[in-house]
Chains A and B, each alone.
Chain A
């Protein structure tokens, strides 16, 4: 369960996020939809504790990220924008390293890495150095790394960027699996179809503010049959 409460963040004179509030429930996939520069990434970064909000707070499973960022980090798995992997480590070592940072005992993190490698079908490259990995292989490695500590909440910043069709389908399947297992999944995107195919709930952000939130049907009801039309309708000045 993730909750944003009146989040504000400025960089110098630029107000990137201006009072964003929404919640993402367990067992659902929530999409953060918005144009480039709308404030999606900044909102996510405050949720996953890398940025401190100027105002407002974010709650992760009821706990404030401001009051106890370390506790918040324990219950989230993060795939940041353009997440890089360590080139001189194998995919498995990349995963195990994060298990260690999360304080998992050695046997546990090894077993969990093996489990994720199977789940994400990474066997062919699991023990190769990440140096020559394709985008898809890098993404899987980063994703496994984000999930190593079995986080209840998963946050992904534009995860499908630069992926081919097969990789996107694989990712979609995985996110659905996570939802069905009761996780709270929040991801940002500017691609309508993606959001349309995956999400149970949508939060539309424009110019640093939430302009609409609700189920796909509720959003569509505000502007036409297709999400895209609804999105455009939402952005147009009234």
Chain B
């Protein structure tokens, strides 16, 4: 293969775009800073929110509090702040809808008598199920009321000479097997998405400038009169875009690593595996995508007549390859061998495995790397074909 001119074009594009503020901004600042700061902020917020929720007392409004003094004493001894209110049923509903009271416990009139007669005594718990943040509070109140009921039941058995243990045939013990690291992955899942997106944006403006931009400026025709095979011209441009994407990728992962070390993940019981070792593995996972992504961007903008047109096209299609990631996130897709043939998705799954600190299947890595490189080379050749066409000049 004749390699003439590739290096010259690569160096020129690399250098020229180093002087272009727009390219630098998108490659070095936008992705690498914006993504990590966003994620770190989100994680920080969810940690502090979770901390608050588990420590705080729950505020519960009670109507007809005088009908169940013992139950209320039991609740307030267990972290429930009771506020006595006087509302009818309609007023209760209104108060919950308007959120003047988030949880309201209504003690019906016959509560005391039914309890004494040994019949099921109802209490009514009002809350608004569409407000996610308060569900845990409602759950705790419900559990506490049931526990109170259970204690009364045990006392009744004792009074009748029955061992209360015998009426509890099954006891459920809950064990959460999610390790601290795998729990943090839920939060960090978005990170792999942002890493890939940021990498793509790193090469975006160079790809546009080197193809649609060069045509619009009128320098393309003279470039084509140079004694260099036409496909080599676009290869050089693709490699230059890939180089900018590589810089963007490395910076983004490094910034994530730094940002996460500042966020107190361990407070959440989560320790994301994002040290220097994991970070370099992440970069290695994504590296085969550089060629694919750069060729993809160059082909799309190669079809555009002008810089602006290319910008419009790419704004639409840059997220296209990341669609499988979104679906994977929504469907909770598990890593498996057949998915390693899907570019972008295989990288996402491998990165997730690294962040989870789980062992990586070597054959999967080989499949992901080789298949992605093959796709990349194919796309590159298609770009070369595109540059051989006369229609290129518009």
Contact = CB atoms under 8 A, between A and B. Distances in A.
Interface of A: 45, 48-52, 70-71, 73-74, 76, 78-89, 93, 97-98, 100-103, 129, 142, 145-146
B20 A88 contact: yes
Q: Which of B5, B225, B227, B229 has the most CB of A within 10 A?
A: B225
B390 A146 contact: no
Q: Which of B12, B19, B214 has the most CB of A within 10 A?
A: B12
A41 to B, nearest CB: 10
Interface of B: 4-5, 8-9, 11-12, 15-17, 19-20, 214, 217-219, 221-229, 390, 393
Contact of A83 (B5, B221, B390): B221
A50 B394 CA distance: 12
Given A70-B227, A103-B4, A89 B222 contact: no
Contacts of B15: 89, 93
Contact of A73 (B214, B226, B393): B226
A83 B226 contact: no
Contacts of A82: 218
Q: Which of B11, B214, B223, B393 has the most CB of A within 10 A?
A: B223
Contact of B8 (A50, A101, A146): A101
B217 A97 contact: no
B12 A89 contact: yes
Nearest to B224: A50
A5 B217 CA distance: 32
Given A50-B221, A142-B222, A89 B227 contact: no
B241 to A, nearest CB: 16
A70 to B, nearest CB: 5
B218 A74 contact: no
B229 A78 contact: no
Contacts of A93: 15
Nearest to A101: B226
B227 A80 contact: no
B225 A78 contact: yes
Given A86-B219, A101-B8, A49 B16 contact: no
Nearest to B21: A88
Given A88-B20, A97-B8, A83 B229 contact: no
Nearest to B4: A103
Nearest to B12: A97
B218 to A, nearest CB: 3
A129 B16 CA distance: 10
A207 B217 CA distance: 29
Nearest to A78: B225
Contacts of B5: 101
A52 B4 contact: no
A169 B325 CA distance: 62
A52 B393 CA distance: 13
B17 A88 contact: yes
Q: Which of A76, A93, A100, A142 has the most CB of B within 10 A?
A: A100
A129 to B, nearest CB: 7
The 9 tightest CB contacts between A and B, nearest first, are A84-B218, A84-B217, A101-B226, A84-B219, A80-B221, A73-B227, A100-B8, A88-B19, A78-B225
B4 A80 contact: no
Contacts of B222: 78-80, 83-84, 98, 142, 145-146
B208 to A, nearest CB: 14
A188 to B, nearest CB: 14
Nearest to B225: A78
A71 B229 CA distance: 11
A145 B9 CA distance: 15
Contacts of A101: 5, 8-9, 223, 226-228
A73 B225 contact: yes
Nearest to A89: B16
Given A86-B16, A97-B12, A101-B8, A70 B229 contact: yes
A50 B225 contact: yes
Contacts of A129: 19
Contacts of B224: 49-50
Given A88-B17, A97-B8, A97-B12, A74 B227 contact: yes
Given A78-B222, A83-B221, 17 more contacts: A49-B224, A71-B227, A73-B227, A74-B227, A76-B225, A79-B222, A81-B218, A83-B222, A84-B218, A86-B12, A86-B217, A88-B16, A88-B19, A97-B12, A98-B226, A101-B227, A101-B228
